[in-house]
Amino acid sequence: MMKTLLVSLAALGLGACSSAPINSERLASSESSIRGAEEVGASGVPAAKLHLQLARDQTTEAKKLAAAGDPRSEALLARAESDAELALGLAREATVHNEALKATEDLNAVRAQGAP
């Protein structure tokens, strides 16, 4: 009886140490969001750059956690994707803001030319 219990506990312990496979769809989604943020220039916008770096770091850490069998890797990948999407939104907002400022300057220049 005791031998069976010890064997069962050992098998359970070895199973807990094995690596948990990382959700490939979640990983691909996270990495895709990071690429999207990079493509719209998130690294050129200070607030977006911060969230982009957080997303990269969280994705790297999630891979390490998954390799160690830690189920928290799923939650960390979700956070990474959220940070990447935030970086993307902040970068787009900065672009739109700059375009609006340029349009205002152009409008003021046209008005100044039309004034007698």
Q: Tell me, what CATH number does 99's domain have?
A: 1.20.1270
Note the pLDDT tens digit of each residue in 43-83. 999 999 999 999 999 999 999 999 999 999 999 999 999 99
Q: b or e along 2-14 (b: 16 or more beta carbons within 10 Å of the residue's beta carbon)?
A: eeeeeeeeeeeee
- The reply to whether 14 falls in a domain is no
> How many domains would you assign to the chain?
1
Residue ranges making up the domain that contains 71: 19-110
Q: What is the pLDDT of residue 3?
A: 57
Question: Does residue 8 sit within a domain?
Answer: no
Residue 6 lies in a domain: no
Domain presence at residue 10: no
Judge whether 78 and 59 are in contact, CB under 8 Å. no
CB 84 within 8 A of CB 36: yes
In a domain? residue 27: yes
Judge whether 26 lies within some domain: yes
* Cβ-proximal residues to 102 (8 Å cutoff; 6+ apart), any chain: none
Give the residue from 53, 51, 57, 38 showing the smallest Cα distance to 82: 51
Instruction: Identify whether 92 is part of a domain.
Output: yes
**Cα distance between residue 25 and residue 41, in whole Å:** 25
One-letter amino acid of 32 = S
Chain segment 73-115, per-residue pLDDT in tens: 999 999 999 999 999 999 999 999 999 999 999 999 999 998 6
